[in-house]
């Protein structure tokens, strides 16, 4: 079985990346793990043309197709997202918007395959857990329309720098072991 871990932040060396690396370490004995960063992919914003509502295909051809291929290959998907102004980073949101051809709210729609399980790990610098609930809802809403089963979530407050992850590492590892 394959696991895909997505660093939903454009920062490749911060706290989100550290969480992704720890997640990969914990999953490696159980899954064939692939980790990617949203910033590894180049894609444009959704044009809102709705062509995909009729064709189940986007009129744009860029790296969205490459990232979707990673979703298709995975059995387990773990999105790790920091809070950017109380929401997921814009780069990840732009990807979500571009997934409309695979969204199950219109016919026809493309599919990434069935039976996938999705997990959310979110973090923020402050102590406000309700803000993290919003991020989790965004990711789980995305999973729902992609027909990925929501199976677990973890919110980490008071994590700004990669050094801050150390104080939450056991909590993180315990959560990831349940995947």
Average pLDDT of 67-82?
98
Query: What are the pLDDT digits (tens) for 123-170?
Result: 999 998 999 999 999 999 999 999 999 999 999 999 999 999 999 999
Band of residue 47 on the pLDDT scale cut at 50, 70, 90: very high
Gap between the Cα atoms of 96 and 83, Å rounded: 16
- Residue with tokens 């809102």, as numbered in its chain: 48
Q: How many CB atoms lie within 10 A of CB 38?
A: 25
Average pLDDT of 78-99?
97
Gap between the Cα atoms of 92 and 134, Å rounded: 15
């Amino acid at each position: 079985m394959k696991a895909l871990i997505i660093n939903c932040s454009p920062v490749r060396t911060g706290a989100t990346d550290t969480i992704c690396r720890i997640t990969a370490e914990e999953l490696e004995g159980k899954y064939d793990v692939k980790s990617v960063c949203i910033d590894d992919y180049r894609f444009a914003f959704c044009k809102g043309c709705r062509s995909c509502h009729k064709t189940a295909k986007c009129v744009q051809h860029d790296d969205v197709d490459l990232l979707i291929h990673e979703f298709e290959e995975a059995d387990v998907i773990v999105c790790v997202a920091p809070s950017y102004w109380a929401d997921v980073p814009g780069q990840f949101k732009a990807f979500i918007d571009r997934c409309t051809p695979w969204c199950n709210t219109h016919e026809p729609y493309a599919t990434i395959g069935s039976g996938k399980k999705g997990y959310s790990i979110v973090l923020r610098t402050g102590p406000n857990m309700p803000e993290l609930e919003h991020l989790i809802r965004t990711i789980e809403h995305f999973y729902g329309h992609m027909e990925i089963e929501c199976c677990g979530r973890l919110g980490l407050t008071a994590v700004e720098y990669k050094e801050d992850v150390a104080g939450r590492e056991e909590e993180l590892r315990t959560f990831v072991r349940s995947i």
